[in-house]
A and B are shown apart, each in its own frame.
Chain A
């Protein structure tokens, strides 16, 4: 699909219109997951493992069943057996099968007439455990004698003889590494570690389920994908997808963390058993112990460079643990690691590892931030040691059109060089620095994708338009979709209303993830609008008694295509809508697609930090994000993605971490001790949007949401390392870690 015109003039796209859900969200009326209630509903609560790893010998629910107000208790025995291995893992994460695999793993659930009754009943469930040895560290879990989290889960790519915790292995790259390293003037090889972080959405998971004994059900929940929830739940409950209608509430953040199910199948099972609606709302502690986190990693990176800054060879070995179940995250880290570079010789190895931690869930550009952190740290250190400008070195080695990418394909048009040049020309790059201050930069990359998408666009009798799409609006997408519909139809933005369908009202849509919505739903919306326009043209042509070819669409009206078509006053959408009944019935357009061509995305972040040499405290002084966003449909929300992603990355770099004790228990399951950035930690986050049109989208749109979390880890680490005078190689760079490094440097 070609871009309509490379320099198309837009009337609505690119403006900063108010969002349609705005008033509800500033007045407290918007209904999020926990805001939904039903008459006669029960409250569900989940019993969770106090152990990191244990066999469940028995579960005695008799006392809980007899307790005041208790209406149902479920365990994994209440679930069916899905065909799909991935969904079986989700099921076993929702309620443990025969072993608890991590601290916080769900075991059983109660539905009772009040929250307090449910809470009291949970304590009456008696579980007999056989405690098993546990492992939470990735390197420890890879050792041959490590405690085995799950056996028989390794994919075929894993060589024989490794720990059974190693479930996957990937390798990417090309060229002659030995020759490349032999040709280098300087080689640096370092080992890095990063802690697991959580998506940290402010809204805990919540749902309300109503499932009858006949298998017909309704589910309301906060999710990034109602269709995904339906498919998972139907399989886990053993009911047909058609019988379960899932409606997504407003969603209070996800960042990947709400791309799976945790409580919904449990609530449905409780509802089926009790015959009443059941609501479950997770506590913040449950959110930390049992949902979300991203991988923790251990990584080796080796890069060789000529004295002029040209990279001769690069190698990375990534070890990612993603909790107690297999996952694919290391594949993306391994592909993304060197994506920003044009390399003659490159190799990336990845190992996926299971530990006694919660099941890893996608977090914004999954796998990429950590790998790129390690790579960009080594590049920066090479620049320091060879006394080279770090931006010039990136420009010298930058991937561009025709570059054989480190992950396999040859790049088409990409925006990295333009983004680097924008950074180089920005006043931030040459602003003076003071004592104990350092400047860091990093490139970032994400693939982006499109995916399954349905859009239905309906013309109302007054000439206004309703758009029905199937992706929860996590950051203003109803505005951008309405904008694209209005743009395509040539009508004002406020004549379009976009709503999000439940699972029975529209065909399947992939989850809101991968920066896909503005790209793919936008694309489908434009196509649906074009279908409606074609229909309107056909109606008018018939009315005028001329061929459809003899009419054309212009500025929201149907007009004669030329003088031969005869004299006809143009008919607006409203004119056509008013006579829809008489000309053949309701007018609508729809489009269903599995969209591809999302186009990869690059960003560059620039940051200044100051490090207190006596305490190791880091202050972020100035931060600028440069990113190729394709056409920015709603620039405010593009900037918002760039700023929000940057700040999540800052948190990852400086303070956020899952802390496990020797007992395998999570020590900081609260927003007090899991330290997400607060307003006073940060400067303004300046943004520079580059609009290099994506040829895969009719308006040139490119996904923007994932890439911004990728560069901050290395950008901050490079800035801190320069400010502190010593290279930091472990995240988070908490003050004790920085002070320790400074002390070691001083002590030689």
Chain B
């Protein structure tokens, strides 16, 4: 295996494009190194981009934040601005692994690993986060929602990699929340998860809502029917019942060692309900 630290995004793209063997980008390394240890993957080339400009920075941009691809969970969690604007995104990221893993793991690594259970992805999706992609043809922006295409698969083309995530501005009276279910209190992979992002009017009526669920389908899933259930309501019991039904209907999970179809479906609904209530309270709503 070769380890390379390119001196620019352009060179990194070229290196990636030219590589003939198995290539991996080293972000936090908390997935790649585990896969190497388990002999699931043996890269011929490992490209480390952490040192490149902007990769480890969080910058204010148009009322939102641009988060470099190598910003660790711990660094994100310490950033007051992102915490205030998108607390659900931060809590999704911070749920990944242990304190030790937080010192290394990144949102972009979590996203590109392509796990249906990735904790940072649902809240990025409900936040409308945008991934900036560099490749042989320069940079382009796409919604985070469009990055994962299946377990372990992304829409990135040959030679492409993500350099940052943009979390947009949001109005007053808006917030988000993320919850996942795990058997223990820490250290597990999500069995099911839900992120909810809400915007409220001055009376506490939901004017905009996004609901995403994780670990219950091959990729994170945005549930439009769930959004519709919430919009125009102050999250009354009827709205919550509809939300839960919409979420359950949107689940198509698998039975595996971590959970059953029935359990994943049921808890996804419960988590969406609870996350919606947290997001609503964070947005200033009183029910």
Contacts and interface: CB of A to CB of B under 8 A. Distances in A.
Given A614-B270, A615-B270, A739-B263, A659 B185 contact: no
Most buried by A among B185, B188, B260: B185
Contact of A678 (B187, B189, B260, B263): B187
Given A735-B181, A735-B183, A736-B260, A675 B188 contact: yes
A736 B188 contact: no
B185 A680 contact: yes
B186 interface: yes
A673 B258 contact: yes
Given A285-B38, A668-B257, A673-B257, A734 B262 contact: no
A649 to B, nearest CB: 16
B189 A675 contact: no
User: Chain A: interface residue count, which band?
Assistant: 20 to 34
B184 A681 contact: yes
Nearest to A735: B183
A667 B256 CA distance: 9
Contacts of B159: none
Contacts of B267: 614-615, 735, 739
A675 B257 CA distance: 12
A678 B185 contact: yes
A617 interface: yes
A740 B262 contact: yes
B183 A655 contact: yes
A672 interface: yes
Given A615-B267, A740-B262, A678 B38 contact: no
Given A667-B257, A736-B259, A677 B187 contact: no
Contact of B263 (A654, A672, A680, A736): A736
Interface in A667-698: 667-668, 672-673, 675, 677-678, 680-681
A436 B267 CA distance: 18
Interface residues of B, number: 21
Q: Is the interface of B mostly helix, strand, loop or mixed?
A: loop
A386 B188 CA distance: 40
Interface string A655-670: 1000100000001100
Interface in A616-674: 616-617, 654-655, 659, 667-668, 672-673
Contacts of B104: none
Nearest to B261: A736
A655 B183 CA distance: 7
Contacts of A743: 266
Interface in B156-210: 181, 183-189, 191
Interface in B1-58: 37-38
A678 B185 CA distance: 8
A672 B257 contact: no
21 contacts: A285-B38, A614-B267, A615-B181, A616-B263, A655-B183, A655-B184, A668-B257, A673-B257, A675-B183, A675-B187, A678-B184, A678-B185, A678-B186, A680-B184, A681-B185, A681-B186, A734-B183, A735-B181, A735-B191, A735-B263, A740-B263
Interface of A: 283, 285, 614-617, 654-655, 659, 667-668, 672-673, 675, 677-678, 680-681, 734-736, 739-740, 743
Given A675-B187, A735-B183, A736-B262, 13 more contacts: A285-B38, A614-B266, A615-B266, A654-B183, A675-B183, A675-B184, A678-B184, A680-B186, A735-B181, A735-B191, A736-B260, A736-B263, A739-B267
Q: What 5 A-B pairs have minimum CB-CB distances, sorted nearest first?
A: A736-B263, A680-B185, A614-B270, A667-B257, A659-B257
